[in-house]
Amino acid sequence: MPENHRFASDAEYLPELRRLILANDVRIDFDAGHLRGMDSPVAIEAEVMWWAMFILAATGLAFWWQGWEFAAGVAVAAGLVYATLGRRWLARNLRSRVMGKALADIGIWRKLWRHGGVSLHCTAAGPAPALECRASNESWVRFVEAILQSRQGTALGSEDIAAER
């Protein structure tokens, strides 16, 4: 590891990243569509299935009660509810899982970073450079190190972070 690194392993950088996020010095963004897949380390397929079962049950009940025309309307309405409210609910749950699980467990964080669909953005005021780091092709450790070093006056640029691929 280069000698300008403050910690010996990425496991020691993860609490720093979490602290920076909680202090609003770093913003973490997600591609919810990418992270909802079955191979995502933070996705829970049962949440999507819950919505599918709700739509199916509502449509079936409507068909039994009023016939296929009414059931078709219920299916469309339930699909619209999922598209507007359900996706937001799933994205919020995904964000809380990343904040609660992935940023607390280096194993999950490593899998998530390799999977992709996550980006980090420096929002700190002051001497911190305007940095951005995207999974999985950039080093989040160098990103955190750049922010920590910028607070000591030896800032790294975006090109240094991208070079650490």
Whether the Cβ atoms of residue 2 and residue 84 lie closer than 8 Å to each other:
no
Domain contains 138: yes
What is residue 106's predicted lDDT score, i.e. its pLDDT? Answer: 92
* Helix extents (H) in the chain: 10-22, 32-35, 45-66, 68-81, 87-97, 106-115, 140-150, 158-163
Domain shared by 152 and 96, yes or no? no
What is residue 77's predicted lDDT score, i.e. its pLDDT? Answer: 92
**How far is the CA of 90 from the CAs of 42, 45, 56, 99, 154, in angstroms?**
11, 10, 18, 14, 40
Into how many domains does the chain fold? 2
What is residue 129's predicted lDDT score, i.e. its pLDDT? Answer: 57
Domain shared by 42 and 68, yes or no? yes
Domain shared by 45 and 85, yes or no? yes
Measured CA to CA, the distance from residue 165 to residue 151 in angstroms comes to: 23
Domain contains 110: no
Question: What are the 10-residue block averages of pLDDT along the chain, 165 residues in total?
Answer: 62 90 88 75 73 87 90 91 85 82 89 89 69 86 86 53 45
What is residue 130's predicted lDDT score, i.e. its pLDDT? Answer: 67
Verdict on whether the full-model pTM lies above 0.85: no
Domain contains 111: no
Domain shared by 24 and 60, yes or no? no
Domain shared by 25 and 45, yes or no? no
What is residue 86's predicted lDDT score, i.e. its pLDDT? Answer: 82
What is residue 52's predicted lDDT score, i.e. its pLDDT? Answer: 84
Range of the domain at 152: 1-31+116-165
Domain shared by 72 and 99, yes or no? yes
Domain contains 77: yes
Domain shared by 122 and 160, yes or no? yes
Domain shared by 132 and 88, yes or no? no
Domain shared by 85 and 48, yes or no? yes
151 secondary structure, DSSP code:
T
What is residue 89's predicted lDDT score, i.e. its pLDDT? Answer: 83
What is residue 3's predicted lDDT score, i.e. its pLDDT? Answer: 47
